[in-house]
Chain A
Amino acid sequence: MNMKIKGPAIKFGNNIDTDVILPGKYLVLVDPYELAKHALESLDPAFPEKAKKGVIVVGGKNFGCGSSREQAPLALKYAGVKCVVAESFARIFFRNAINIGLPVIECKGISNEVETGDEIAVDFEAGKIENISRGKKFQVDKLPPFILEILADGGLIENLRRRLNKK
């Protein structure tokens, strides 16, 4: 996976829970592209359409709180979300996203410096985030090397396969 990501931002507020990212009634769906059709529809029915071109979701505090459903990050990923940058994440969502190969990173203060439509660049290896549209740069805590490795492999299963084969 490319660890430098660029795209237009779609911004959301604090405490975006996994029920609004993907409502429980869709959890019986198994095709990730079917899940993607309902990503964040409770907040913005047009989100799946907007995300198609490849977007960066910018969230506030506690992004992905609530249910452990992995279908939530899956829906975002297959809708076209390239990565999520948020003030903070709920821990299960954070792990799930990494494990399915959807890059996520914390950036304090990002909410106030980004509006929907701004062009954002994220360099995961360097821990650098830039709002190109507004000329704002952020240095954030880098993800630990083993997490970057999982992302580079495309997710935990691919990472595990590679590590088990090495043994």
Chain B
Amino acid sequence: MNITEKILAKASGKRAVHPGEIVDINVDMIMVHDLTGPLAVEAFEKIGIQKVWDNQKVVVILDHQVPAESVKAAELHKTMRQFAKDQKLRIYDIGRGGICHQVMPEKGHVVPGTVIVGADSHTCTYGAFGAFATGIGSTEAAAVFATGRIWLKVPEAIKLNVTGQFQKYVTPKDLILSIIGRIGVDGAIYKSAEFTGPTIKSMSIAGRMTLCNMAVEMGAKNGIIEPDETTRKFLEGRTSQALPNFESLKSDKDAVYERTVEFDVSKLEPQVACPSSVDNVKPVSEVGNVPIEQAFIGSCTNGRIEDLRLAAQVLKGKRVKDNVRALVIPASQEVYKQALNEGLLEIFTDAGAMVCGSACGPCLGGHIGLLAADEVCVSTSNRNFIGRMGSTQASVYLASPATVAASAVTGKITDPRKLEAKA
């Protein structure tokens, strides 16, 4: 079996599972946020059960409309605070957490080998730690609150084998964009995307999270990476739960894959996903002259300390171009504080960028940093759909923190390596 099958077999109490089989599995952890939680609470109340199945296994995180930008959002937050209080749940309120997918592993709620569901499509991020993690809707979250169980079809798996060393200013974001460009936005639909190979083994947790985060953008049910010493190091001191034997989570040599796709990153150049599909991916050299109005560095894809360091490295001593606004949003309070201590926030502020509090921000177009008609944003986030970040006439280009930072300086989509060469 591969790692996903091993986790699902264990969670369903079976010795083995096979692709296509529908299994009823135990859930180890569920997360809801301020935009999916209220519907889940409403549905849960209709079931007629008083208490969630296990209050230690439900986490509430306020991160989307944060801080509340409207009375309606404030009401949603109030609903979630009350539910957390009534059910005695762990809640990460404003100023205590940040973006759900950063907070969950940071605060030790993600453990290798476990099953985690979340009422958010980017829940697949936790596959970076060797957990089986997938997104669900609000009604389904309510059913999990009540039963602690969920049905799933065991997915076929695609093995994404990555070799080679990244060039300077080329990042895991560029890798995942190039993967999605090749696989397509529906190329891994219903499937498991397993990232493996020497490049993955030497990759930081931050990079692995960026890869697994965007697995859903090719339709995958989950993204997953075998846990190793890098995983252990990150989790040590964060989780109070015992870690499983990582050997038991390695894919067997004879594990079956629907297909294996090879990627060599050694010649990879920075990649850009052009409007309005995440698989409309081009090397930055082929994007052409694209002036921008906004540059956004943040989100559950690229708001980690490693991302901010990279952006700061590009922006240090430079200025954001006139007529361009740059927004920087650390993914969590922890990341914010670290960026503060390392002097990164000063670099951003000196450059003329606006640093905002840890939250989802403009990524989903619900709150701050929206775009007007005909405006262009280059963003480190994960989706460039029509209307995603505001006006349906606006355009969103997706790229790495280095590319977005370089673009903020020049005012058009720019290869960070060229900016450095010029300086």
Contact = CB atoms under 8 A, between A and B. Distances in A.
A66 B385 contact: yes
Question: Looking at A17, A24, A43, A62, which has the most chain B CB atoms within 10 Å of its CB?
Answer: A24
Interface string B363-399: 0111000100000000000010111101010000000
Interface stretch (B45-53, B235-243, B246-254, B331-339): B45-53
A68 B385 contact: no
Interface in A1-35: 14-15, 17, 19-20, 23-25, 27-30
B342 interface: no
Contact of B121 (A43, A66, A99, A161): A66
B70 interface: yes
A71 interface: yes
B277 A15 contact: yes
Interface in A88-119: 88, 90-92, 95-96, 99-100
Interface string A40-71: 00110000000000000000011001111111
B228 interface: no
A68 B136 contact: yes
The interface residues of chain B, by DSSP majority, are classed as loop
B273 to A, nearest CB: 13
Interface residues of B, number: 49
Interface in B58-75: 64-65, 70, 72-73
Contact of A24 (B70, B189, B388): B388
Nearest to A155: B139
B73 A20 contact: no
A122 interface: no
A144 interface: yes
Contacts of A42: 386-387, 392
Given A24-B365, A24-B366, A25-B365, A15 B136 contact: no
B138 interface: yes
A164 B49 contact: yes
Nearest to A27: B35
Contact of A19 (B47, B48, B388): B388
Nearest to A158: B46
A157 interface: yes
A14 B22 CA distance: 27
Given A68-B137, A69-B36, A144-B22, A160 B47 contact: yes
B387 A20 contact: yes
Contacts of B151: 146
B221 interface: yes
A24 to B, nearest CB: 4
Contacts of A25: 365-366, 370, 390
A73 B35 CA distance: 15
B120 interface: yes
A68 B383 contact: no
A30 to B, nearest CB: 7
Contacts of A61: 186
B157 interface: no
Contacts of B219: 62, 65, 90-91
Interface of B: 22, 35-36, 38-39, 43, 46-49, 64-65, 70, 72-73, 76, 119-121, 123, 135-140, 142-143, 146-147, 151, 185-186, 189-190, 219, 221, 277, 364-366, 370, 383, 385-388, 390, 392
24 contacts: A24-B364, A24-B366, A27-B366, A28-B70, A28-B72, A30-B38, A30-B39, A42-B387, A43-B386, A62-B186, A65-B185, A65-B186, A67-B121, A68-B120, A68-B136, A91-B190, A95-B140, A96-B137, A100-B137, A155-B139, A156-B142, A157-B142, A161-B46, A164-B48
Given A43-B386, A70-B39, A91-B189, 8 more contacts: A25-B365, A29-B72, A68-B119, A68-B137, A96-B137, A144-B22, A160-B146, A164-B49
Interface of A: 14-15, 17, 19-20, 23-25, 27-30, 42-43, 61-62, 65-71, 88, 90-92, 95-96, 99-100, 144, 146, 155-157, 160-161, 164
